[in-house]
Amino acid sequence: MCKARASTPERAGNQPHVTSIDMDIHVNQKLLTLPDGATVADALTAYGARPPFAVALNGYFVARAQHGARALQAGDRLDIVSPVAGG
């Protein structure tokens, strides 16, 4: 789902009215709203993910080196998996 959000003009009032689009994605089955054009890295920051973790986008692994370049789309599903130690 995409949501339109109107930004507020600068104090001087000389700036044109700009509309930005937000998108909803799911991170670990929780809804997260991000600006259009957000990347995996943006989602990880907004979610508050703390390393170490692995990331899957719509079921496919995303290498750490690709987090900043991999753009998200509305409806994407991001899974963040942290290692678990046991014995």
pLDDT digits (tens, 9 = 90+) for 26-50: 999 999 999 999 999 999 999 999 9
Neighbour tally for 60: CB within 10 Å: 8
SS3 42: helix
What is the pLDDT of the chain when averaged over all its residues? 86
pTM: predicted TM-score of the whole model, two decimal places: 0.76
Could you give the percent of the chain with pLDDT greater than 70? 77
Where on the phi/psi map is residue 29: left (φ > 0), alpha (ψ -120 to 50), or beta? left
Model confidence at 80: pLDDT above 90? yes
The pLDDT of residue 42 is 98
Structure-token pair, residue 70? 């991999």
CA atoms within 13 A on the CB side of 82: 10
In angstroms, the Cα distances linking 9 to 15, 44, 54 are 6, 29, 40
Residue type, 21: I
Please tell me which residue, 10 or 70, carries the higher pLDDT value.
70
Mean local confidence (pLDDT), 9-34? 78
